[in-house]
Structures are given as structure tokens and as C-alpha cells.
Amino acid sequence: MNWALTLDLLGTFFFAISGSLLAAQRGYDIVGSLLLGSLTGLGGGVIRDLIIGVPPTAFAEPVHLAAPVAAAVLVFFLASGVERYSRPLLIFDAGGLALFCTTGTVKALEAGMNPVAAMLLGVTTGVGGGLLRDVVANRDPQLFNSSDLYAVPAFLGAAIVAGVWFTALPNVVTVFVAAIVVFVFRVLSLHFRWRIPHAKGQPKMGRASE
């Protein structure tokens, strides 16, 4: 098993845990937990592969399905009461984000994309699964929650990987270090509620009409 596949499976597993935890919070049954975990874990990668133009690995390599199955089983048996806490969901989501924004950039560069497009695709891969999860579960996406930073660490991780590409081939060490940076950045932003400026005007979540 090569390192790219290992990191991909780990990212899928982390995101799938976040999906299954949200399913538990929402009172979905075990099949709903498996489905939301699968969508979260595999969704970003499917979008990535469709845009690159290769057969989605989630289908081409069925080993990817083991990750959401393991996640759903784990959450089902171990998560007694854990769904009352939102922190585990956020931590696993941060792990998936860190791995997918970096490995997504690598896959795009390997497919011959220019570095700017590769960065964009890395960010899309990183935020895609969580966005699908939140949209399908009918809640305001984590991605747009302005009380912490979500896309900024993903941009940073994708930029590190794309930057290294100019000097050397990204390898397991590069990607792993970049992923750690993203993860730590994201968790610190959650803990300290780092923010960035809002567009001027109204505060939060208001809806206005003329």
C-alpha cells in the first residue's frame, strides 16, 4: 500500500467519522449514519476525480468503502452520548480537511494541472465532503461559520504543497507536514475563535429584503 492511498483512506475515515457523528446527533439510524459518513468521506474525492477526469477512486478501488463502514460501526458502538458534544465532530472534520486539501493538491498536480488550479482543486476536495454533509443534513455549513477559520487553513495547506512542487516532488514528508500544519491551524482557530473581517454591515445570519 503506497503512502498516497494510506493518507487518502485516513482522510476518508476522519470525514466519515464526522458524518456518522452528525448522523447520531440528528437521530439517524445506523444506515443513515453509514450513508452520511460515506457521503462525507467519499464525496470530496469523487468531486476531485470527476474534475480531474479519472474514474472516482471510491468506485474504482472498493477498499475506500471500508473507511465509512468502520466509522459507522465505531460511532454506533462507542459513541454513547458522544453525539451530545460537537467537539469530536469538529476534530475529526479537521483531520479530514487537513489530509484532503493536501492530497487533493498532489493528485491535481500529478494529473498535470497548473499550480493555481491544483490549489483550487485541493481546497475543493478538502471542503467538499463537509459541505455535502452539512447541505444534505440541512444545516448551515461549517464552511461559512464566521466564528472560526475553515477555508483559510485549507488554502494554506494546498499552497504549501503546490509551492513545494516547484522545488521538488511532494513526497510523504511534505504532505504529512503540510497536513499537520492545516490540522493545528484549524484546531487553534476553533479554540481561540480566530476570525477574519466580515463584509461590512449587518451582523450574523440575518436575512434582509428591500
Q: How far is the CB of 173 from a second copy (least distance, A)?
A: 27
**20 vs 174 by CB, closer to a second copy:** 20
**52 vs 160 by CB, closer to a second copy:** 52
**177 vs 181 by CB, closer to a second copy:** 181
Q: Quick count: other Cβ atoms within 10 Å of Cβ 205?
A: 9
Q: How far is the CB of 55 from a second copy (least distance, A)?
A: 6
Q: How far is the CB of 180 from a second copy (least distance, A)?
A: 22
Cα(113)–Cα(158) distance, rounded to whole angstroms?
A: 13
Cα(104)–Cα(86) distance, rounded to whole angstroms?
A: 26
Instruction: List CB contacts of 75: < 8 A, sequence separation 6 or more.
Output: 17, 20, 21, 23, 24, 33, 37, 82
**Side chain identity at residue 203, one-letter code:** P
Q: How far is the CB of 106 from a second copy (least distance, A)?
A: 15
**163 vs 177 by CB, closer to a second copy:** 163
